[in-house]
Chains A and B, each alone.
Chain A
Amino acid sequence: MLVLPGEEIPSQGLKPGPGTYRVGGKVYASVLGLLSPRPPTVRVIPLSGRYIPKAGDVVLGTVTDVQGTFWLLDIGAPRWAPLHMTGTPWDVEVGETEKYLRVGDAVVVQVESLDATGRIGVTMQGEGLGKLEGGTIVRVAPARVGRVVGRNGSMIQTIVRHTGAKVTVGQNGRIWIDGNPEAIERVAAALRMIDEEGIRSGLTERVESYLTRSGPSSDRGPAVAPRESADRDAPPAPNDSDGERSESREEWE
């Protein structure tokens, strides 16, 4: 059920959780989102808004500032995230940070730590993390990332299978696409569909039908599995309409 800020929530004795507040024994929504009663609390899952970082999330960022020992990254969160030179796979000398990453460069990093002041610690050490070269980055609403990935990665696998593009999904709603220009455009169009239609049911089928229609002739008919699509790692945790974000890394090739 969609609720708006200021609307009273039937709390039925549940405690006010995230996205709600209580005044005089009544519970109200504080954000626009979906009502989700989860005893012993009731909460509202936001449908919009900036990316709220969570430890373990893999996100895409762009460098906004270069300092002597660290870079500042825009990951679409309320604050910029400092990436320290010791958190990279490289052996960086103090003062030589700019040799590795410059303002405007795109990177894949993982959120490591968060503190009460909203400071976000990120690292670039880990599989699938690093600097991005080539390709295109598109954005979807962070609340829609679960839908982009799909249950057990079904949605993103469908997109990759039909286009042959290389796609990396950041939990912050930034998605890197690489491949031939036509494939990139088809992936971007499919992502726009998901962004606009959100969590309505039957979306995977509609996206698949779009991809089939828009694809090159070689792509039509029975879906041809692209190279390496079969021996992919275990798919990520399921994502359903309650907006729970998956924990594992989303990377498909």
Chain B
Amino acid sequence: MGNVGATEVPVLLSPEGLRIDGRRLDELRPIRIEAGALHQADGSAFVEWGANKVMAAVYGPREVHPRHLQQNNKAVIQCKYNMAAFSVDERKRPGLDRRSQEISKVIAEAFESVVFAEEFPRTSIDIYIEVLQANAGTRCAGLVAASVALADAGIPMVDLLPAVAVGKIAGKIALDLKKEEDNFGEADLPMALVPQSGRLVLLQMEGHMTPDELAASLDLGVRGCREIYEKMKAALRERYAATVPSGGTP
């Protein structure tokens, strides 16, 4: 993407109310989702979201590794979020860091609240998220990819899990921040929604907002999630269209 000077604060909002990439405040970046992008995994998905590119693979339910994490009454959900060394402008030092551990944990916990894990005692459902290109909002893109991959893997769950971040730029609430907006904006609020129940299963925040702004952000985020939800469903339908009998009753 265009290289904005790292030290100079860019104009995040034009007088016409348009953002750095021409979007309105309540507009998402373009999203493309491909279900079943990998052959080897039980389920997989590839998500391009703005300049983000994220691959997710799901294995399981399968034997738990390491063994001591095994639960007698349900499946454990393990998530590994990782950013490729080449995913950002300046080389990211490969491997585990505090940020990726945190993101792995919150994503695993989000899925724990929707997956019917009791159906597979003593097993593990392993979610791998690889960020190939990052441009803010990768935990949400990773969550969306992982959720489509879980459905593709035939894992029973309450619902798909759309996710999006809302932020504050130039004093205004804006949907789905891109990198410059995230870097120079005032707040960032990623969330994941269970559309079936309207519950949020992931909500984090960085920066400052007034209570009114927070309420407005949650509304905007939920609307964004519902928009993404439709794209997730469309991707899965496209993937499985060829396997459904053409016409007629099942």
Contacts and interface: CB of A to CB of B under 8 A. Distances in A.
Interface in A1-54: 1-2, 4-7, 19, 21, 23, 28, 30-36, 45-50
- Size category of the A interface is 35 or more
B246 A200 contact: yes
B233 interface: yes
B123 A118 contact: yes
A78 B158 contact: no
A253 B75 CA distance: 40
A117 B121 contact: yes
Contacts of A32: 151-152, 154, 236, 240
A199 interface: yes
B195 A199 contact: no
Nearest to B233: A4
Nearest to A117: B121
A50 to B, nearest CB: 6
Contacts of A19: 156
Contacts of A36: 250
Nearest to B247: A201
A200 B245 contact: yes
A198 interface: yes
B65 to A, nearest CB: 12
Given A4-B236, A30-B116, A78-B61, A50 B154 contact: yes
A217 B245 CA distance: 34
Contacts of B60: 50, 78
B237 interface: yes
DSSP class of B's interface residues: helix, strand, loop or mixed? loop
Nearest to B75: A78
B122 interface: yes
B242 A196 contact: yes
Interface string B216-250: 00000000000000000100110011111110001
B83 interface: no
DSSP class of A's interface residues: helix, strand, loop or mixed? loop
B120 A242 contact: no
Given A6-B196, A79-B63, A199 B245 contact: yes
Nearest to A48: B154
B200 to A, nearest CB: 15
B250 A47 contact: no
Nearest to A202: B246
A242 B62 contact: no
Given A4-B233, A6-B195, A34-B250, A47 B240 contact: yes
Contacts of B195: 6
Contact of B244 (A23, A50, A198): A198
Nearest to A31: B156
A49 B196 CA distance: 22
Q: Which of A35, A45, A241 has its CB near the most chain B CB atoms (within 10 A)?
A: A241
Nearest to B241: A2
**Shortest 3 CB-CB contacts between residues of A and residues of B:** A49-B154, A198-B243, A6-B159
Interface of B: 42-43, 60-63, 72, 75, 116, 120-123, 151-160, 194-197, 233, 236-237, 240-246, 250
Interface of A: 1-2, 4-7, 19, 21, 23, 28, 30-36, 45-50, 78-80, 116-118, 143-144, 196-201, 241-242
